[in-house]
Amino acid sequence: MPDDKNISEQNEFDPRRMIELEEELIALKQKQGIEEKPKWWQRLGDWYADYTVRSKVLVNRKKYIRLAWTCGWLCGSHRFYAHKPVLGTLYLLFFWTGAPFAMTLIDLMIALPMKPDDNGMILI
């Protein structure tokens, strides 16, 4: 029967060893030409980055700021106005958590210093 001390030493987590094994696994996969499919959260992040970067829309600055200030934190109306229904829906779904309030403050900090063009439009 093995010692209890030996068993506990074998069961301890060694982060350095784990990193070495992970690097070895990555090297073997590269050597074999195996590409890993990105995880779902990585794909979601990539989609969100593409969604926000590609879909810039001209909106009236005053109207956007008024919508964000009055009811944007509650229902995401400024996001719907900017043709971003996915984000607007997220504001609606999570209005009770306070996160849309923080996100609206960030939206306001982005929109307020923007200089409008001759027609009062900004690119959101």
Contacts (Cβ under 8 Å, ≥6 apart) of 86: 51
Task: Return the bridge partners of 60, or none.
Answer: 121
Nearest of 111, 49, 54, 118 to residue 79 by alpha carbon: 111
The Cα–Cα gap between 83 and 103 comes to: 17
The Cα–Cα gap between 119 and 5 comes to: 77
The Cα–Cα gap between 122 and 118 comes to: 10
pTM of the model: 0.62
- From first to last of its 124 residues, what are the pLDDT tens digits of the chain? 555 555 555 667 888 999 999 999 989 999 999 888 888 988 988 888 887 666 788 999 999 999 999 999 889 999 999 988 888 999 999 999 999 999 999 999 999 999 999 999 999 8
